[in-house]
Amino acid sequence: MAQHDINGMTIVEAPAADERIDVDARPVAAFLGRAAAGPVDSAVVINSLAHFDRVFGGDWATSALGLTLAQYFQHGGREAAVVRVANNATGGRLELPTERGPLVLVARNPGSRERLRASVDYDGIEDDKAFNLTVQRLDVVTGQIADQEFHTALSAQVESRRFIGRALESSSLVRLDPTAADVARPLAMRTTITNATIGYIEMTAHGDDGTSLTDYDLIGSDRLGTGLFALDAVPEIDLLYACGDAGLSQAGPAFHFAAERYCQSRNALLIVDPPAGGSHPLGRHGAGAEAWRHGPNALTYYPALRNREGETPEPLPAAGALAGLLARQDRRCHVWAALSDDLRQNSAALHRDWLPWTPLETDDALRLLRAGINPLLTGTQRRMLFPGLVTCANASDRERGALARQRLNHFILRRIELGTRWAVFAPRGEATWRQVQDQVVEFLETLAGRGAFETETGWSVRCDAATNADTDADDGPEEGVRLLIAFMPRGAHEPQMYSIVQHRDGTSACRAAFEYPAP
């Protein structure tokens, strides 16, 4: 669910108590990386490559983010949550002339390709200390106006309620230079309404793109909502990928550990690239497999890609293509349908533009599968196939090691957590517990009718006085609501059982053991 912090208060957007839990997938993949322009540490949901170009400045040779998004939309993705992350990047400068030297504005969004311009006028102004300010952001590719802000009746006086420094705190484009000591009223760049000439001041200095990202830039801060945690503002994500500077992601173990933990809390899957340079993840004799032993909340693949057209000096990631294929499959079928179920319809086929960096033999593909690594195979007409069979837990947990079953687990937990969030704000007692139970029963019953479970009765829900006997806490009787769910996914060998608790600080879910079906 969306969560926002405003003046120290946390605002949570939750579905209503009488709202059905949606059984239809709306796949959203999340991507982190460097970009040429756009907001930093802010999750922006985009719906096309053109949308990405407008907000983040388009393809940029320094980062694989543009390539990854192009793959995602090319292979069927429709919505992506993009977080631009930067390391020591700085914003450009706008210098508005005054009678005592320039009044300096600094771009909110850093980077050398961020293009701003500004204009000052006195239209409708009677106070000789006040002025109007127009700021425009130009599209990096087309030069057209991409965003525009009007700030009226600003003041150069610090004590004024409309002092420019305070007024621009809400601006998404510029801020007053924090080192400014003496602020004077800027000169008008166009006169009153009687003069039709409009003039703009262009940037006097462009920003800096900063340096390569570290694991800690990507992880960011939970408290500040930066890096990975900027995604808290997105109600639902099901896939996550951190883009490298130019090719395969160079994210290290610190990021992978934090990202897997984050994916566990969001019921999502982390996509991990093969080793840099395109080397075999297992080596010729299985060496190096330990480095790939991620958990059930991650998936990886091999080999990397090369482009059919022209030379590809370095192996390229396939993460965007794989995320797009999974998103398209979710819309066409269901999250529990494996891509391999429909190979004849090319649902698992990558676009013809892409070829394997290193072709795979059948024996090698089977060895990769046993290690929890998805092989990219060469199918008919030399098109690459992503059957999407395993998570990285394949070798240790055969239930959650099956990709389709783990994605079904994630989908069910995400939807129940979102759909029952209202319960923590409702009066504690039997009526609320019964409503939660009825809501989840209807949801699982619908999934069963669509074939998600081994049988139509292969599921159970319980939310009553017994499951909530120990949810009382010292800080109030309405602290938590707990429900138990169990279900037998299609093709599974054992039921999946979870305890889900809605509490004031959020939602938590963990695997549980209880009598199945629950009484």
Residues 27 and 149 in one domain: no
Q: The domain containing residue 108 runs over which residues? A: 93-202
Residue 443 in any domain: the answer is yes
Q: Are strands 43-46 and 79-84 parallel, antiparallel or unpaired?
A: antiparallel
The count of domains in the chain is: 3
Which residues in the chain show pLDDT less than 70? 1-16, 190-198, 284-293, 340-346, 395, 471-479, 516-519
Residues 191 and 133 in one domain: yes
Residue 161 in any domain: the answer is yes
Residue 105 in any domain: the answer is yes
pLDDT of residue 196: 52
Q: Which pair of structure tokens corresponds to residue 314?
A: 């370095």
By C-alpha distance, which of 43, 408, 88, 369 is closest to 235? 43
Q: Which residue has the tokens 């080999």?
A: 303
Residue 12 in any domain: the answer is no
pLDDT of residue 415: 96
- pTM comes to 0.89
By C-alpha distance, which of 133, 244, 149 is closest to 188? 133
Q: How many angstroms separate the CA atoms of 504 and 436, rounded?
A: 16
- DSSP string covering 14-41: ---TTPPPP-S---EEEEEE--SSS-BS
Residues 242 and 366 in one domain: yes
Residues 133 and 195 in one domain: yes
CB contact at 8 A, 318 and 376: yes
At which of 202, 220, 238 does a domain end? 202
Residues 313 and 447 in one domain: no
At which of 202, 223, 240 does a domain end? 202
pLDDT of residue 346: 66
pLDDT of residue 28: 93
Residues 276 and 384 in one domain: yes
Residues 380 and 489 in one domain: no
Q: Which pair of structure tokens corresponds to residue 160?
A: 């004024």
Q: Which pair of structure tokens corresponds to residue 494?
A: 């054992």
pLDDT of residue 8: 40
pLDDT of residue 518: 53
SS3 487: strand
pLDDT of residue 505: 85
CB contact at 8 A, 255 and 219: yes
Q: Which pair of structure tokens corresponds to residue 428?
A: 């504690």
Residue 435 in any domain: the answer is yes
pLDDT of residue 66: 95
Residue 425 in any domain: the answer is no
pLDDT of residue 382: 77
